[in-house]
Amino acid sequence: METDVMDSFESGAMCCDVAVIGAGPAGLMAAERLAGAGLGVRLFEAKPSVGRKFLMAGKGGLNLTHSEAMPAFASRFGGRAASVSRWLESFGPDQLRDWARALGVETFVGSSGRVFPVDMKAAPLLRAWLVRLRAQGVTMHMRHRWLGWDASQDGLLRFDTPAGPLAVRARAVVLALGGGSWARLGSDGAWTQALAARGVEIAPLQPANCGFDVGVGLPARGWSAHFAERFAGQPFKSVALSFDDGHCAPFSRKGEFVATATGIEGSLVYAVSAALREAIARDGQATLMLDLLPQLSPERVLAEVRHPRGSRSLSSHLKGRLGLDGIKAAVLYEILGKEGMADAERLARAIKALPVTVVATRPIDEAISTAGGVRLEALDEHGMCLVAPGVFCAGEMLDWEAPTGGYLLTACMASGVHAAQGVARYLKGGVH
Ligand SMILES: Cc1cc2nc3c(=O)[nH]c(=O)nc-3n(C[C@H](O)[C@H](O)[C@H](O)COP(=O)(O)OP(=O)(O)OC[C@H]3O[C@@H](n4cnc5c(N)ncnc54)[C@H](O)[C@@H]3O)c2cc1C
């Protein structure tokens, strides 16, 4: 992507009103609002093109936001609900849908209440967005990696570019550098060093909406070789998962997830992943309960298991009486062993409440999103770093988390709007 206006330089530094660094949804939204306010915006991005994670999000169906009412929507941000609610006041789910419509992309509400573009894709939206940003005069600098601030000249931004080192002087900066997952798409979390060196408080980056390694027969980690070989990648469909360790709100939900080579991942697991991650950090492990047949009562399951099976094998019996086979039957064998399977009461109990112990999160790079980041307490109410006047932060690099369901993109874009509003006030010499 080319720079489309003449660069202005002063004492060897490129100059602008606002430098937005990071061209994911948070940075793009901040740039749009800043340019809309009449400010000169330069957008810097380390990768050769913008919005790589946003495009990846579109691969599985771009879940832009959620249609549920605001109190429920805000509650998805847990302990950060109050702060995120302030961002959502200016740009909530309805505004996001209006914004997409204005870019020529209609949205619809799926059966789960999640909101998607009609074609489910991210690319048409991103293309239209870039056309608008260019028309607004946003200057884009790809392959410009921000390295931090110049040690000698306060506030001078340092970049590594294909043409060599570049210094940029901006009246204000919006950092929208993303979290620490899927580093190949650009968000590598390397920014933590520059911000920590500047004295900005940062909570350690951690995986959110992530998979877990199971511990079957502790202390071993992962499934048996037999289970992993046969069932990695296969889904657990129409199951219910519950988790209640007394430290978090009890979780119980129907849905589906997938077995991996070493454990579990997928939407139902992501929904409870923050609580599991906290429990593992505290206790070294966490045990969730799996109901393999949520549509049947425990009494019915026990009656069917006990039903005389004659010369039939236990596997055919479970398949014939309960429709239990494949991965569901295999996980019972995996966790109960032969002895447990032979005990009808124990088996029936396990079908309705199979304890699955998880012992570790999968690495952060595999996670859908990241918890931790710049502490919201390190920012003022307008999103500006308390220790770095004129430096604002937005998006997933901030210390909040939410489940999948469109909450991530909504909050990223809303925080971009919030930071842009903060910058506009700051440059007008308003509240700061
Ligand atoms: C597979 C997958 C599917 C997803 N699906 C959904 C979904 O359907 N719905 C949803 O709500 N969320 C989804 N998400 C999450 C969502 O994509 C992210 O939360 C969102 O993209 C974060 O936006 P951001 O702008 O804060 O950061 P990012 O999108 O990560 O953008 C940050 C940008 O900063 C750039 N950058 C980083 N460091 C530097 C540097 N030093 N100098 C210059 N540039 C730098 C990066 O290259 C990157 O372009 C999904 C995520 C993944 C991985």
Nearest CA to ligand 1 atom 29: 24
161's CB contacts (< 8 A; 6+ apart) are: 141, 143, 144, 145
Q: CA gyration radius for the chain?
A: 25
Question: 43 alpha carbon to ligand 1 midpoint, in Å?
Answer: 15
Give the pLDDT of residue 2. 41
Distance of CA 212 to the CA centre of its chain: 15
> Which of 185, 198, 408 best tests ligand 1's pocket when mutated (most atoms within 8 Å of CB)?
408
Question: 214 alpha carbon to ligand 1 midpoint, in Å?
Answer: 28
Question: 206 alpha carbon to ligand 1 midpoint, in Å?
Answer: 15
**How does pLDDT run across 352-393, given as a tens digit for each residue?**
999 999 999 999 999 999 999 999 999 999 999 999 999 999
The beta strand positions in 229-295, using DSSP E, are 235-243, 251-259, 263-265, 286-291
58 lines ligand 1 (CB under 6 A): no
Give the pLDDT of residue 9. 78
172 lines ligand 1 (CB under 6 A): no
Whether 116 shows a pLDDT value over 50: the answer reads yes
**How does pLDDT run across 119-154, given as a tens digit for each residue?**
999 999 999 999 999 999 999 999 999 999 998 777
With 0-12 CB in 10 A as exposed, 13-18 as middle and 19+ as buried, what is 285? Answer: middle
164's CB contacts (< 8 A; 6+ apart) are: none
Nearest CA to ligand 1 atom 31: 24
Q: For residue 17, what pLDDT band results from cuts at 50, 70 and 90?
A: very high
Q: For residue 313, what pLDDT band results from cuts at 50, 70 and 90?
A: very high
Nearest CA to ligand 1 atom 35: 22
Whether 429 shows a pLDDT value over 90: the answer reads no
In angstroms, the CA 413 to CA 432 distance is 23
Question: 187 alpha carbon to ligand 1 midpoint, in Å?
Answer: 6
Mean pLDDT of all residues belonging to the chain: 95
In angstroms, the CA 393 to CA 384 distance is 7
Whether 290 shows a pLDDT value over 50: the answer reads yes
The 3-state DSSP class for residue 179 equals coil
Whether 10 shows a pLDDT value over 80: the answer reads no
Distance of CA 111 to the CA centre of its chain: 21
Question: 369 alpha carbon to ligand 1 midpoint, in Å?
Answer: 8
403 lines ligand 1 (CB under 6 A): no
Nearest CA to ligand 1 atom 2: 57
177 lines ligand 1 (CB under 6 A): yes
From the alpha carbon of 27, which atom of ligand 1 is closest? 25
Give the pLDDT of residue 6. 46
Whether 4 shows a pLDDT value over 80: the answer reads no
**How does pLDDT run across 37-64, given as a tens digit for each residue?**
999 999 999 999 999 999 999 998 999 9
> Which of 120, 140, 368 best tests ligand 1's pocket when mutated (most atoms within 8 Å of CB)?
368
CB atoms closer than 10 angstroms to residue 299 = 10
26 lines ligand 1 (CB under 6 A): yes
Give the pLDDT of residue 359. 96
